[in-house]
Chains A and B, each alone.
Chain A
Amino acid sequence: MSSIYLEKLVMKRESKSFIDSLYAVLSAAGQFDGPKYLLSGLTGMAFKLSIHERLLPMSVTAYGQWGTEHQPAVDNLGYLTITDSGRVRHSTFRHFQQAAIQDTRQNLDQGMGVIYWIPEFGVIHGYDDVDRVFFAKDGISSDDQIILYDNFGLNFTSFWYYQTIGEKVDIPIEQSILESLRLAIHDWDTPFKLLPGKEVANGKEAYTYWINALNSGDYDAGGAMYILDSHIVSRTEIRNYLQYIQGTWAGLKDVVGLFEQLLQHMEIAATCIVKDREARRIDPTFLQLFIQSLESARLLEDQAMGIFKQISAGFPDPKRTTLPRWGTHSAR
């Protein structure tokens, strides 16, 4: 019977919840002391844009099958990472749940927090065998969330997910930067990642879904605000990341300029928001202006990806020219 409580682990919701979680885990373990945007950029996570056709709040985390999306992200930092996840309905869930509980405890014993779908993504930073509970942070509340061992993985969504971070190899920074551009290109050019479902679009197509939903008027008002806020944060992270890496290859300076412009359009979009009895929403008078801002953003981002592609074409790319034996699949 033992217990652990990682006092140093701090999580703050700013970026995508997965990155906030990863940042919290690595920082607490003394393994990362750079700015968060660097983590968002190198993992390619900042670039991910996914939009549900009705702008539901889940859009922000619906950027694909998580294992498939997060593995290359963490790979690019050089860490070994183990993920387990699935659908609670699977007959083997209870077995994996027990294995995950033990694995989570062991990682905490080694001082490593564990990324966990609460939802959204948060970090398990402690356990107590006597009360049979985990302590988790969601980055919003300063209070811990308490998760009973018996309820590990159970939540209002139908899936469970946890991820641990292990040893590290050093990857030359230029190699990581190049890979991050390629992760961005792939996301931009992959319209649907949850096929056969098409309720959520990604990358370039996501902008189209966003604009169509606003035009139709049939959308989730709260989700629309969450998507906008996340977008401004992630595009700011991209701009900062690009400023950081702009000396690596010719052309990246131009991309910084494109994202500067994109952010100006997003600022305009933000001015179209009114506060209506505590709830924020798009002022109907300025709906078209808001949509125009998104159209400009889509165009600028497309130009940026064009430059990324030119840079990428100068180097061999075995990861994307070799067919894998994992990755995209339909839920079954």
Chain B
Amino acid sequence: MPAVLLDGLRMTNATQSYIDAMHAILSHRGWITCSKSMLTGMTVAGFRFTVQRSLQVESTTAYNWMAENFIAADFIGIAASQGAGFNFESTFPLYQKQAVGMIKESIDNGIGVVVWKDRFVVVAGYDDDKQVLYYSDGEGNEQGIHDGLKSLAYDDFGRNETPYWYYQFFENKIELEEIEIYRESLIQAIYKWETHDPMLPEGEYACGRLAYDAIISAIQTGDYIAKDGASVIGYYAGAKRDISLYIRELSRMWPEIVQAAEEYGRVAAIFTEVACLLVEWRQEISDIALNNHPQVTLLVALVQEAKEKEANAIEKLRWWMRESLDNRFHDIGLR
């Protein structure tokens, strides 16, 4: 049996997120034609804002993959199936076999698969003779085979640096009213801003509005590694920029929310600046010198400003969506 490969399915890696993988697969399948920014907004993924309190790089993927990635697809009318677990579980070999079978079936159906291989990647083929999956992770061709694809032995599926295995495949598209997708995403955006992810211990993680306070606190105490903090804030700069573009697109239909797009644009710019500053100076001064250090004062002021901007943006969205919110905000699930 020769290798089975999906023609032209490659991940372009703008932000190292789940959306990169989803966008590649759904575009390749022909189920979406929108930009990655639009997808980031419609799936609500870009509104997720979670930080580990010492700004570890894990911040950007420390969320409930099963719940959030499922509903991301559901929001845009895509039916998805998935599996996840710890690879140290006794039952892992059973699930590994099951996962590889489902991944191959999806490839046979012409649809790529999202897989966790130390980050979200796209499986684009397999070879039963060699017992390998082929995946694209958005990096260049250098070490690649099959034109940029890398190989992963069936037996290595789910064996990652962290103990998680995960895969998700897309099965079907249900036509939804575009306008309803947009409306839903704005309601969910407000919810995300206000709500802590119940999977995460609050002592270690902060979400939405409170994530800003956690960043400020980390900057003030110096309890973070500059490179990691910069990477996390840089990642969210990308997400806020995507959201800004998304809301700007929606504002062509709803001019009332254009200001929210502007606010998000400003948040993205501030985050980019903060990420640069963090790398530049943090290593050079001792923790004791942090108090009243002009750079700390500057960074805190910047993050504070970003917080106000995003709060303004959310208020704008809340005002715009007020009727729907009144009707159901006691239970966000009532959609």
List chain A positions with a Cβ less than 8 A from chain B.
75, 78-80, 82, 84, 87, 89-92, 94-96, 99, 166-169, 171, 175, 195-196, 318-319, 322-332
- Docked Cα-Cα span, A321 to B29, in Å, equals 39
In the bound assembly, the distance between CA atoms of A273 and B334 in angstroms comes to: 39
A166:B90 contact, CB within 8 angstroms: no
Given A171-B90, A318-B86, verify A92-B62 contact (CB < 8 Å). no
> Is the C-beta of B134 less than 8 angstroms from some C-beta in chain A?
no
The one of A79, A94, A326 that contacts B64, using a Cβ cutoff of 8 Å: A326
B246 CB to closest chain A CB (Å) equals 19
Question: Beyond A91-B74, A328-B198, is A80–B94 a contact (Cβ under 8 Å)?
Answer: yes
Cα of A99 to Cα of B334 in the assembled complex, Å? 24
Contact B65 A91 (CB under 8 A): no
Q: Flag B311-335 by CB within 8 Å of A: 1 or 0 each.
A: 0000000000000000000011111
Q: Are A325 and B98 in contact (CB under 8 A)?
A: no
* Residues in B neighbouring A75, C-beta threshold 8 A: 89-91
Decide: B333 and A87 in contact? CB cutoff 8 A. yes
Please determine whether B199 and A327 come into contact, CB atoms closer than 8 angstroms.
yes
The reply to whether A89 and B335 form a contact with Cβ atoms under 8 Å apart is yes
Determine the chain B residues whose CB is within 8 A of the CB of A92 once the complex forms: 73-74, 77-80, 172, 174
In B39-92, which residues have CB < 8 Å from any A CB?
Answer: 61-68, 71, 73-74, 77-81, 84-86, 88-91
Nearest-neighbour CB distance to chain A for B93, whole angstroms, equals: 7
Q: How far is the CA of A75 from the CA of B86 in the complex (A)?
A: 11
Tally chain B residues at the interface, Cβ within 8 Å.
47
Q: In the bound complex, what is the Cα–Cα distance between A332 and B67 (angstroms)?
A: 9
21 residue pairs of the A-B complex, CB under 8 angstroms, read A79-B94, A80-B95, A89-B334, A92-B77, A92-B174, A95-B171, A99-B81, A175-B90, A318-B88, A319-B89, A323-B201, A325-B61, A325-B66, A325-B199, A326-B64, A326-B67, A326-B84, A327-B66, A328-B64, A329-B197, A329-B198
CB <8 Å contact, B74 and A95: no
Closest chain A CB from B90 CB (angstroms): 5
When chains A and B are docked, how far (Å) is the Cα of A118 from the Cα of B62?
35
Contact of A332 among B61, B71, B80, B176 (CB under 8 A): B71
In the bound complex, residues from chain B placing their C-beta under 8 Å from that of A195 are 198
CA distance A171 to B201 in the complex (A): 30
With contacts A92-B174, A169-B93 taken as known, whether A330 is within 8 angstroms of B198 at the C-beta atoms is yes
Give Cα A195–Cα B199 distance, bound, in whole angstroms.
Answer: 11
Residue of A nearest to B195 (CB): A330
With both chains docked as a complex, state the minimum distance between the C-beta of B235 and any C-beta of chain A, in angstroms: 17
By beta carbon, the residue of chain A nearest B172 is A95
Query: Cβ of B333 and Cβ of A332 under 8 Å apart?
Result: yes
Whole-angstrom distance between the alpha carbons of A328 and B63 in the complex?
11
Chain A: minimal CB distance from B189 (Å): 12
CB pair B333–A330 under 8 Å, yes or no, is yes
In the assembled complex, which residues on chain A have CB atoms less than 8 Å from the CB atom of B61? Answer: 325
Closest A residue, CB atoms, query B98? A80
Min C-beta distance of A184 to chain B, whole Å: 19
* Distance from B117 Cβ to chain A, minimum over Cβ atoms (Å): 14
How far apart sit A95 and B78, CA to CA, in the bound complex (Å)? 9
Known contacts A329-B64, A332-B71: does B94 contact A169 (CB below 8 Å)? yes
Is the Cβ of A80 less than 8 Å from the Cβ of B191? no
* A164–chain B nearest beta-carbon distance, Å: 11
A318 to B164, CA, bound (A): 12
- Least distance between A229 CB and chain B CB atoms (Å): 31
